[in-house]
């Protein structure tokens, strides 16, 4: 007699009023199974995970059968469901910033997660240290004593993994668990998930948009498109001979990004646009109860980018990439050194300037797309207002002209007219990303700072955004600094590649020089890990 599935979905439907966002007739995950859920941004992948966890937003209507170990999850009392979460079902969410409590240190959050299910005292502390270390986080005591905002995005993601694995659950739901990690740490986290799952006999439901990851890690592959299951079967068969148009389009988009050569270096305007001279930044964090330590994000870094420059910034998680991006975008004033922005009229203004008039002049010319669009969009503003704010403030358009500008930009980014009236939480992750890009481009900037802006997006959407950047570069000379873990994207977008390690710039050159003939050990390790993660 065949063993009953661990997780079984039957006629599952999630809707907001009359608008259905997920309709799955049948999907099963067996005990100890490995299922990868693939699909473009907005296809319903994260909605399915939220439905299993009982974390659907207010207003969502759930119907159909959702059974775990033979029990209907929807019929469980709140207390029974809470007992399942954490102990029997572990989850790694896509957005670590939103999933972690900003007011509690990491160690306290781990201790709380363990204590809820009866692990306390020295046993809890030892388990917390073990999990943090196994997740690849150095300086265990510093990590445990830090608040989430004192860690890099990749470090926060690995903290989420430790929380998910704290009780060796029977089912692990991993929603884009490696999207914010460099290739080496991405491979390490996936190995950790698989090892823990194997030792506990747990099943894994892995949500991803990454075809290379799906090809290497999946036993069974399910493909979603517009909330419907369009393909399901052994991963090798689905990827080798896809039956659905959406699977074929995802594969084709990724191949197009990989096969097209990096752009040839083009002439740029004389003189610098962005200058960093001896820029350093650090902060103090606790180590234990009484001791503190200084953590260096950047160390005496020099960088100059001209108007129209196309640069990619690589480095391991925690190397200082996001710190550099925030300084370059004027969000963070450097503790040491000078960071200058050269405006169209020739003025040299300090990035991170305190005067509102100077900040406005820089903001008119500088756009920013952060790794986590949900955290960077005002939750109280509708999409149309978010996109129209910069053109209105800078006097570029008003009234009907502003409405037309917003509508045109939303359409160019693949959003429908009705999206203009929605709040950020009413959009999918991919739609929020499109909205963040539309806002960054709304005032026709000269330069963009892109901090892992494509890390959680599917290949089709990345290809669309790459085409848009190239179009803007050809039309207006738009330049960018693209912080990324994706080596394919770096090759595709950049004429200059920069590599950071522990806050220092260790390698710089053309894609051919840095990515084909790397000199530094850090670059060589990133390339090797990228090849391993993709199965090359």
At residue 25, does pLDDT exceed 60? yes
Residues 313-340 have a mean pLDDT of 90
Write the CATH number for 473: 3.40.50.300
* Same domain? 405 vs 439: yes
Maximum distance among all alpha carbons in the chain?
78
Residues 15 and 50 in one domain: yes
Pairing between β-strand 310-315 and β-strand 479-483 as defined by DSSP bridges: parallel
For residue 264, tell me if it sits in a domain: no
Q: Are residues 245 and 288 in the same domain?
A: no
- In the structure, what pLDDT confidence band is assigned to residue 383 with cuts at 50, 70 and 90? very high
Domain tally, the chain: 2
531, pLDDT greater than 80: no
Query: What is the rounded average pLDDT of the residues 101-120?
Result: 84
| Range picked from 69-83, 258-272, 476-490 for highest mean pLDDT | 476-490
Query: Which carries the bigger pLDDT value, residue 405 or residue 85?
Result: 405
The secondary structure of residue 413, as a DSSP letter, is T
Domain range for 87: 7-249
- Among 234, 249, 264, the domain-final residue is 249
Pure H helices in 341-446: 356-365, 373-376, 383-393, 399-412, 429-441
* Predicted confidence band of residue 340 (pLDDT cuts 50, 70, 90): very high
Which of 249, 281, 301 is the last residue before a domain boundary?
249
Q: Is the pLDDT of residue 535 over 50?
A: no
522 membership: H or E segment, kind and range: helix 521-534
Which is more confidently placed, 34 or 131? 34
In a domain, residue 420? The reply is yes
pLDDT digits (tens, 9 = 90+) for 132-167: 887 777 788 888 888 888 887 678 878 888 888 878
Asked if residue 76 and residue 223 are part of one domain, the reply reads: yes
Task: Quote the pLDDT of residue 260.
Answer: 61
User: And the tokens for 115?
Assistant: 């204590």
Q: Are residues 232 and 295 in the same domain?
A: no
Identify the band that residue 289 occupies on the pLDDT scale cut at 50, 70 and 90.
low
The share of the chain scoring above pLDDT 90, in percent, equals 43
pLDDT tens for each residue of 412-431: 998 999 999 999 988 877 88
pLDDT given for residue 286 in this prediction = 59
Domain membership flag for residue 165: yes
| In contact, 205 and 171? CB cutoff 8 Å | yes
Taking only the tens place, the pLDDT of each residue in 214-253 is 887 788 999 999 999 999 999 889 988 999 999 999 999 8
Residue 184 and residue 525 in contact, taking contact as beta carbons nearer than 8 Å? yes
Contacts with 394 (C-beta within 8 Å, 6 or more apart), sequence order: 360, 363, 364, 443
Whether 266 has a pLDDT exceeding 80, the answer reads no
Query: What's residue 288's pLDDT?
Result: 55
């Amino acid at each position: 007699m065949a063993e009953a599935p661990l997780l079984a979905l039957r006629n599952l439907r999630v809707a907001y009023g009359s608008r259905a966002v997920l309709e799955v007739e049948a999907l099963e995950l067996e005990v100890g199974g490995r299922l990868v859920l693939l699909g473009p941004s907005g296809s319903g992948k994260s909605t399915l995970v939220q439905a299993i966890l009982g974390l659907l937003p207010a207003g969502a209507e759930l119907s159909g059968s959702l059974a775990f170990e033979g029990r209907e999850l929807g019929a469980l009392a709140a207390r029974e469901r809470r007992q399942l979460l954490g102990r029997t079902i572990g989850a790694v969410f896509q957005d670590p910033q939103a999933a972690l409590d900003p007011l509690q240190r990491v160690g306290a959050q781990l201790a709380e997660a363990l204590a809820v299910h009866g692990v306390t005292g020295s046993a809890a502390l030892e388990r917390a240290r073990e999990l943090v270390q196994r997740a690849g986080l150095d300086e265990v005591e510093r990590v445990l004593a830090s608040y989430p905002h004192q860690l890099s995005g990749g470090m926060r993601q690995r903290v989420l993994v430790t929380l998910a694995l704290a009780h060796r659950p029977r089912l692990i739901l991993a929603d884009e668990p490696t999207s914010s990690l460099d290739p080496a740490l991405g491979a390490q986290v996936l190995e950790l998930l698989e090892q823990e799952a194997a030792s506990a006999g747990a099943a894994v439901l892995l949500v991803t948009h990454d075809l290379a990851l799906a090809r290497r890690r999946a036993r069974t592959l399910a493909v979603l498109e517009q909330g419907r299951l369009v393909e399901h079967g052994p991963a090798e068969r689905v990827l080798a001979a896809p039956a659905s148009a959406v699977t074929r389009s995802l594969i084709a988009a990724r191949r197009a990004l990989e096969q097209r050569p990096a752009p040839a270096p083009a002439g740029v305007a004389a003189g610098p646009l962005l200058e960093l001279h001896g820029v350093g930044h650090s902060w103090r964090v606790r180590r234990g109860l009484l001791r503190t330590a200084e953590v260096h994000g950047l160390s005496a870094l020099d960088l100059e980018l001209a108007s129209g420059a196309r640069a990619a910034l690589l480095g391991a998680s925690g190397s200082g990439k996001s710190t550099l991006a925030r300084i370059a975008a004027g969000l963070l004033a450097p503790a040491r050194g000078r960071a200058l922005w050269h405006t169209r009229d020739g003025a040299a203004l300090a990035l991170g300037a305190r005067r509102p008039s100077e900040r406005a002049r820089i903001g008119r010319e500088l756009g920013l797309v952060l790794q986590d669009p949900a955290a960077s969009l005002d939750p109280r503003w509708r999409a149309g207002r978010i996109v129209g704010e910069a053109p209105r403030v800078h006097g570029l358009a008003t009234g009907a002209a502003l409405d037309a500008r917003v509508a045109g930009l939303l359409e160019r980014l693949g959003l429908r007219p009705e999206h203009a009236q929605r709040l950020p939480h009413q959009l999918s992750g991919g739609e929020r990303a499109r909205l963040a890009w539309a806002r960054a481009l709304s005032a026709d900037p000269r330069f963009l700072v892109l901090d892992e802006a494509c890390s959680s997006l599917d290949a089709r959407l990345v290809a669309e955004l790459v085409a848009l950047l190239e179009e803007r570069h050809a039309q207006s000379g738009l330049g960018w600094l693209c912080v990324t873990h994706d080596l394919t994207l770096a090759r595709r977008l950049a004429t200059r590649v920069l590599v950071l390690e522990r806050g220092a710039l260790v390698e710089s050159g053309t894609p051919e020089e840095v990515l084909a003939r790397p000199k530094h050990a850090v670059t060589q390790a990133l390339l090797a890990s990228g090849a391993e993660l993709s199965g090359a």
